[in-house]
Amino acid sequence: MLVNSKEILFDAKKNHYAVPHFNINNLEWAKYILEEMEVLKKPVILGVSEGASNYMGGWNVVSNLVKGLIKDLNITIPVCLHVDHGTSLETCRKAIDAGFTSVMIDASKKPLEENIEITKQVVEYAKPKGVTVEAEVGHIGGSEDQISSSSKNARIEDCIQLVEETGIDSLAPALGSVHGLYHGEPNLDFKTMKELSETLEIPLVLHGGTGIPDEQIKEAIHCGINKININTELQIAWHEAVKDFIKNNDSYDPRKVIGSGEVAIKEKVREKAEMFMNR
Ligand code: 13P
């Protein structure tokens, strides 16, 4: 069943756990994640970046692909289909019109007032359609979709202002995490995280989940994080398995080559879901 993020994240906030957001890149990624989460009987958020959407052919392709998998695989868990780091109102509109149930508008590189203005426009379009909106304050740096940028931590007063003025459903405050691999230990601002989660009624999102040690993930959930985004870690797990397969096999059947990463992806999905959701 496709649902918006509110339906799953509010339970997470109430019961102090985090829902995994896994980025998808193709049919296989979506299929493996859905199958494994169905075994676990836990809700999941499938994140799609603009780059991944372009790669797969567009928002309609992705939306129909996920809906088709839910139907044909008899997936019964709640599934939220979410735009990851939408860069414009236009992008979010297209995804919503294609059937996405949740969007992130990321205007975090712009000055706060502009970020608020763009986010407001997205909420105005999304809300009447029952689509939820996530926004980012400060800037989460690192490397994503082959684009690198540097980080800027969020200020509490900016977060409160954006949430109050826009009516978003979840907030991704930049508090020290980065996309992609970390150089050294992550340095998360747990104090601000806790203060924000106690001040705001909406759930908080942690981007850049790859490479954060388990203890810090648990601390982040303890401090009020209710959605954790994972992308790079699944890609690395898949790549290791496929490299190994190619080294030891002559098969040129793409189903075998791509599919040789299935177990690795599913194991990672299970590991993360159990860590984030077991209370
Ligand atoms: P990682 O690639 O670091 O796991 O981050 C994913 C993410 O935050 C997607 O928005």
Average pLDDT for residues 100-121, to the nearest whole number? 97
The pair of three-digit structure tokens given for residue 57, joined into one six-digit string: 């052919």
pLDDT score of 279: 61
- The closest-lying atom of ligand 1 relative to the alpha carbon of residue 140 is 8
CB burial of residue 76 (10 Å; 0-12, 13-18, 19+): exposed
The protein residue whose alpha carbon is closest to atom 9 in ligand 1 is 229
Report the separation in Å between the CA atom of 278 and the middle of ligand 1, taken as the mean of its atom positions.
21
Residue 105 sits at φ, ψ, to 5 deg, of -100, 120
Q: Whole-angstrom Cα distance, residue 72 to residue 68?
A: 6
Report the separation in Å between the CA atom of 180 and the middle of ligand 1, taken as the mean of its atom positions.
6
Which residues are catalytically annotated?
84
Per-chain mean pLDDT for the chain: 96
**Which tens digit of pLDDT belongs to each residue from 23-54?**
999 999 999 999 999 999 999 999 999 999 99
Report the separation in Å between the CA atom of 250 and the middle of ligand 1, taken as the mean of its atom positions.
33
Q: Give the CA count within 13 Å in the CB-facing half-sphere of 243.
A: 6
Domain count for the chain, please give it: 1
The pair of three-digit structure tokens given for residue 228, joined into one six-digit string: 């954790």
What's the pLDDT band for 206 if we cut at 50, 70, 90?
Answer: very high
pLDDT at 184 over 90: no
Q: Which of 46, 53, 231, 236 should be mutated for ligand 1, with most atoms under 8 A from CB?
A: 231
pLDDT at 89 over 80: yes
**Which tens digit of pLDDT belongs to each residue from 52-75?**
999 999 999 999 999 999 999 999
Q: Could you count the other beta carbons within 10 Å of the beta carbon of residue 211?
A: 19
Q: Residue 66 belongs to a domain with what CATH number? A: 3.20.20.70
The protein residue whose alpha carbon is closest to atom 1 in ligand 1 is 208
Q: 147-149 and 142-144: which strand pairing?
A: antiparallel
- The closest-lying atom of ligand 1 relative to the alpha carbon of residue 206 is 8
> Which residue segment(s) compose the domain that 26 sits in?
2-277
Q: What share of the chain is helix, strand, coil (3-state, %, to 5)?
A: 50, 20, 30
